[in-house]
Amino acid sequence: MNRSITVSYNPSERWWQHMLESLWVTIIEGGSNYWVDKIDYDKPEGMLFKDDLPSLKSGAHLAKNFEVTIYHNGEYGDFDGEKREFNSEVAKVKTFDVIYDGIRLLDDVRQVVIMNNGDWDANDADHIFQLGVFGEVRYG
């Protein structure tokens, strides 16, 4: 007997902006900082932003889906007397797509909780981010 329930949800642009801002702030300020070495980006061509460069803490900016480079799994050490990073792996993602893809790869129960309540913690944000970047949870 099939007892599955399919739920479709089409959030507004405002909802996505709020969700993106909240998740990216959580990712940057603690959710993923144990495996992300650095997040870098240039000014996206053809996109206008109030302060010239986009912000990873602005939902309106993040919704424009600009590309960022995620440096992860780097090694650190002394190099010619200086402490510096070397040999980081690199992943290029887009600011909206990485979150959207990560949410879609969550289990159904977690999707419902996040989409209906906006209820997540740093661990959830990290898992969404890892799923969006790698298609799987690699760290923690």
117 Cβ partners below 8 Å, 6+ apart? none
Spatial separation of the C-alpha atoms in residues 47 and 62, rounded to whole Å:
12
Q: What is the pLDDT along the chain (140 residues), one digit of tens a residue?
A: 878 777 777 778 898 899 999 999 999 888 888 888 888 887 777 766 666 678 888 899 899 899 999 988 877 666 666 666 566 778 899 999 999 999 999 988 888 787 777 677 888 899 999 999 999 999 87
CA distances from 52 to 49, 72, 92 (A): 5, 27, 21
CA distances from 48 to 5, 43, 56, 124 (A): 42, 9, 15, 31
